[in-house]
Amino acid sequence: MLIDRRFLLAAAPALAAASLLPESAFAQKKARTADVAVKDVNGLAVFDVGGCNVIGLAGPDGALLVDGGRAADAAALMAAVSRDLKTSRVATLINTHWHPEQVGCNEKVGKAGGVIVSHEVTKLYLGRDSRSALYPQVIKALPPEARPTKCTYDRAALDFAGETVEYRYLPAAHTNGDLFVHFPKHNVIAAGGPVSAVRWPVMDYLNGAFMHGFVRSYEILAEVAKPDTIIIPAEGPTLTGADVARQKDMYWALFKTMFADFNKGYGPKDLIADHPLKDHEAQYGDPAQFLDAAYRSLQLATVPH
């Protein structure tokens, strides 16, 4: 779903209100070169690049990466890949979505002849300037060589280093171009932006994130993951398939509450004031920003314009 003029006109009040919200954890990161730490997760390298998780797998002709951190950290990430995966080349890069924290090394990989994989919508966003409620500045288009060269609308797979790597669309979860990446041999899923072990997710509701799709995405992840599957989010510590199944139930309960409140004529502030996630705030923190975005996504999709 690309944003057309009619949608932008309808979304204008929400965009103005969103400018008053706290910025996302990603948007608050300082523009500095990151120290890159690495750990082994079931045979995959997980690089912590300024708080962003980048997953790496070594191959005979170069590495496969899932996401790429910020552009300011691209050189540091490439040095860490060379050090820990014993290759200076990234043969394949998969972008889980189009936000700046996922595509920072696209240009380096593309200029070196690597294949960049994404959802088709991510490719379109990376080819134009975009606005988001999560970032104070316009997100500039990437140069042609930094844009994805292999795309899917739904699901696909590739063979890499003798194993199958699967990737699949998460509909309207965090943006409208999210993919998750499944490494069956390692029992690992790179889930990208919709999932977190320690905080509430961020929904880019002006760029396709939609509560219906968000809860459907959790259903998909819970169907694919085993209870002991390691789930790697876009940032922060890992969680398990069992954790995602519990979160799915939590978000479905919230979804039902939101519809009841919607029929009462509630607005986002009313929902937040009711504290529908109070039983989970000790674990994940204040849900106000998440609730605001989730409710606004519902309003934008269901209120006639």
CATH of the domain at 148: 3.60.15.10
Q: Which domain holds residue 64?
A: 5-302
Contact residues for 1 (Cβ-Cβ < 8 A; gap 6+): 121, 172, 176, 208
Q: What are phi and psi of 90, to 5 degrees?
A: -100, 110
pLDDT attached to residue 29: 41
Q: Which residue has the tokens 């998780």?
A: 53
Assess whether pLDDT exceeds 50 at residue 79. yes
- The span from the CA of 114 to the CA of 124, in Å, is 19
Percent of the chain predicted with pLDDT > 90: 84
pLDDT in tens, 218-236: 999 999 999 999 999 999 9
At 303, the pLDDT band (50, 70, 90 cuts) reads low
Q: What are phi and psi of 264, to 5 degrees?
A: -85, -10
pLDDT in tens, 254-287: 999 998 998 899 999 999 999 999 999 999 999 9
To which H or E segment does residue 123 belong? helix 120-126
pLDDT in tens, 87-122: 989 999 999 999 999 999 999 999 999 999 999 999
The answer to whether 55 touches 84, Cβ cutoff 8 Å, is: no
Assess whether pLDDT exceeds 50 at residue 21. no
Count of domains forming the chain: 1
